[in-house]
Amino acid sequence: MAGKDLLDLLGEAFGAKIQNKTEFRGEMTCTIAAADLRQIAAFCRDQLSFDYLIDITSIDNYGEEPRFEIVYHLYSMSQAVHLRFKLKVPEDTAAVDTISDIWPTANWHEREIYDMMGLKFNGHPDLRRILMWDGYPFFPLRKDFPLEGLPSEMPDVAFTKVTPLEGGPFVTVPSTATSKDREPRARPPEL
């Protein structure tokens, strides 16, 4: 089944719930409302054979409203077709329903989005930080988070002053070396 046919099937099944449909270079993108996500996702899995959730990403459109956008990347292995869903999330809500019961791989993706952007997933079985430590009060991938970091007054848990980016465990140092030699490396443990 071609990508255009899938868009037509989605349009027939959901009508105005598919707010915008585009096809570009063989990949289809649909804009939907956050309230319709679970229903459309289950339909795509069960009726259209989208059996693989590739990724979930989030975008911070700082200064615009709705501020956040969540993008779901799906793939049908039997039909070799990609599908992308986009939905807007206002800053005051900053929550959508989980799809981790539809595609279990959503579990970690949703946790990462929660950890880095502060967007919550209603009904998630284990919504806690996955990269930052528990109790960290900021969301580092938001555009209003400064590159130099923020002070944290959490002794014995985190840094007690602004954390520098250079010299971290996986941070590269600018130089004229080749990309192979410039790639970030883990620091050897202190002896």
**pLDDT (0 to 100) of residue 162:** 55
Averaged pLDDT of the chain: 82
Does residue 119 belong to any structural domain of this protein? Answer: yes
Q: Please tell me whether residues 124 and 70 are part of one structural domain.
A: yes
Q: Please tell me whether residues 75 and 35 are part of one structural domain.
A: yes
Q: Please tell me whether residues 164 and 75 are part of one structural domain.
A: no
Does residue 191 belong to any structural domain of this protein? Answer: no
Q: Please tell me whether residues 28 and 95 are part of one structural domain.
A: yes
145-186 pLDDT tens trace: 877 666 666 555 555 555 554 444 444 556 676 655 655 554
State the CATH number of the domain containing residue 42: 3.30.460.80
The number of domains in the chain is: 2
Q: Please tell me whether residues 121 and 151 are part of one structural domain.
A: no
Q: Please tell me whether residues 111 and 172 are part of one structural domain.
A: no
In contact, 87 and 103? CB cutoff 8 Å: no
**How far is it, in rounded angstroms, from Cα 191 to Cα 188?**
9
Q: Please tell me whether residues 100 and 178 are part of one structural domain.
A: no
Q: Please tell me whether residues 102 and 74 are part of one structural domain.
A: yes
**pLDDT (0 to 100) of residue 75:** 93
**pLDDT (0 to 100) of residue 170:** 47
Give the residue from 93, 47, 42 showing the smallest Cα distance to 72: 42
Q: Please tell me whether residues 86 and 169 are part of one structural domain.
A: no
Domain boundaries, position 172: 146-185
In contact, 71 and 57? CB cutoff 8 Å: yes
Give the residue from 87, 82, 61 showing the smallest Cα distance to 143: 61
Strands 120-122 and 95-97: parallel
Q: Which residues of the chain have pLDDT under 50?
A: 165-171, 186-187
Across the chain, the runs of DSSP E, i.e. the strands, are 18-24, 27-32, 52-60, 68-76, 81-89, 95-97, 120-122
**pLDDT (0 to 100) of residue 83:** 92
Q: Please tell me whether residues 127 and 158 are part of one structural domain.
A: no
Strands 27-32 and 81-89: parallel
Hunting for tokens 């998630």 — which residue is that? 124
Does residue 190 belong to any structural domain of this protein? Answer: no
Q: Please tell me whether residues 165 and 87 are part of one structural domain.
A: no
Question: Residue 74 is encoded by which pair of tokens?
Answer: 């799906």
